[in-house]
A and B are shown apart, each in its own frame.
Chain A
Amino acid sequence: MSGAPSLPSLFQQRVVVGVGDLAVSNNVNVNLSTFALGSCVGIIVYDKDAKVGGLIHIMLPDSTLSPDKAQKQPAMFADTGMPIMFRNMCGLRAERRRMKAFVAGGASVISGSDMFKIGERNIMAVKKLICALGIQVVRADVGGVNNRTIHLNVGTGEVTLKTPLGTSKLSLS
Chain B
Amino acid sequence: MTVEELIKKADTLPPAPEVLPKLVKIMKDPDTDSRDIVQLISTDAAIMAGVLKLSNSGAYSPASPVTDLNDAVAMLGIKEVYRIVNLVSSGDFLEGALPSMEIGKGSLWAHSLAVALIMDQIVGKNCEMEGLPYTLGLLHDIGKLGMHIGCGEQYTDIFKKVETERLSLDRAETETLGFDHAIAGARLLEEWSFPEEVYIPIRYQYHPLEAPEEHRVMAGALHVANWGAAVIGCNDGRDAWALEMIDGAFEIDQAELELAIVTANEKLEKARKALNVGTN
The total number of A-B Cβ pairs within 8 Å is 95
Asked if residues B262 and A147 are in contact (CB atoms below 8 Å), the reply is no
Residues in A neighbouring B280, C-beta threshold 8 A: 35-36, 147
Max chain B C-beta neighbours (<10 A), residue from A69, A116, A145, A146 = A116
Q: Given A59-B265, A66-B262, check contact A113 B245 (CB 8 Å).
A: yes
Asked if residues B259 and A66 are in contact (CB atoms below 8 Å), the reply is yes
Residue of B with least CB distance to A164: B238
Within the complex, the shortest CB–CB distance from A22 to chain B, in Å, comes to 15
Max chain B C-beta neighbours (<10 A), residue from A20, A35, A37, A147 = A147
**Other-chain residue from B166, B231, B265 in contact with A118 (beta carbon distance below 8 A):** B231
Q: Does chain B have a CB within 8 A of A53?
A: no
Contact with A along B232-270 (1 / 0, CB 8 A): 111110111111111100000011011100100100010
Q: Does chain A have a CB within 8 A of B134?
A: no
Report the Cα distance A109→B262, complex, angstroms.
19
Q: Does chain B have a CB within 8 A of A76?
A: yes
Residues in B neighbouring A113, C-beta threshold 8 A: 245, 247
Within the complex, the shortest CB–CB distance from B220 to chain A, in Å, comes to 13
Within the complex, the shortest CB–CB distance from B251 to chain A, in Å, comes to 11
Residues in B neighbouring A109, C-beta threshold 8 A: 168, 227, 241-245
**Other-chain residue from A59, A69, A111 in contact with B232 (beta carbon distance below 8 A):** A59
Residues in B neighbouring A66, C-beta threshold 8 A: 259, 262
Asked if residues A145 and B233 are in contact (CB atoms below 8 Å), the reply is no
Within the complex, the shortest CB–CB distance from B77 to chain A, in Å, comes to 26
Classify the secondary structure of B's interface with A.
loop
Q: Does chain B have a CB within 8 A of A39?
A: yes
Q: Given A35-B280, A65-B259, A116-B227, check contact A146 B240 (CB 8 Å).
A: yes
Contact with A along B203-243 (1 / 0, CB 8 A): 00000000000000000000000010011111110111111
Q: Does chain A have a CB within 8 A of B102?
A: yes
Instruction: Find residues 1-54 in chain A having any chain B CB closer than 8 Å to their own CB.
Output: 18-20, 35-40
Within the complex, the shortest CB–CB distance from A36 to chain B, in Å, comes to 4
Residues in A neighbouring B257, C-beta threshold 8 A: 115
Instruction: Find residues 70-117 in chain B having any chain A CB closer than 8 Å to their own CB.
Output: 102
Asked if residues B236 and A116 are in contact (CB atoms below 8 Å), the reply is no
Report the Cα distance A108→B230, complex, angstroms.
10
Q: Does chain B have a CB within 8 A of A166?
A: no
Asked if residues A39 and B244 are in contact (CB atoms below 8 Å), the reply is no
Max chain A C-beta neighbours (<10 A), residue from B166, B167, B233, B246 = B233
Asked if residues A110 and B240 are in contact (CB atoms below 8 Å), the reply is no
Within the complex, the shortest CB–CB distance from A93 to chain B, in Å, comes to 32
Residue of B with least CB distance to A37: B233
Asked if residues A65 and B262 are in contact (CB atoms below 8 Å), the reply is yes
Q: Give the interface of B toward A (CB within 8 A).
A: 102, 162, 166-168, 227, 230-236, 238-247, 254-255, 257-259, 262, 265, 269, 279-280
30 chain-A/chain-B pairs, Cβ below 8 angstroms: A19-B265, A20-B265, A36-B236, A38-B231, A39-B230, A39-B241, A40-B233, A59-B262, A65-B258, A65-B259, A65-B262, A107-B240, A108-B241, A109-B168, A109-B241, A109-B244, A109-B245, A110-B242, A110-B244, A112-B245, A112-B247, A113-B247, A115-B245, A116-B227, A116-B243, A118-B231, A118-B258, A144-B241, A146-B240, A147-B280
Q: Add 13 more A-B contacts to A59-B232, A60-B258, A109-B245 (CB < 8 A).
A: A35-B280, A36-B234, A36-B279, A37-B233, A38-B241, A40-B231, A65-B255, A107-B240, A110-B244, A112-B247, A113-B247, A147-B236, A147-B241
What 3 pairs between A and B have smallest CB-CB spacing?
A: A112-B245, A145-B241, A36-B233
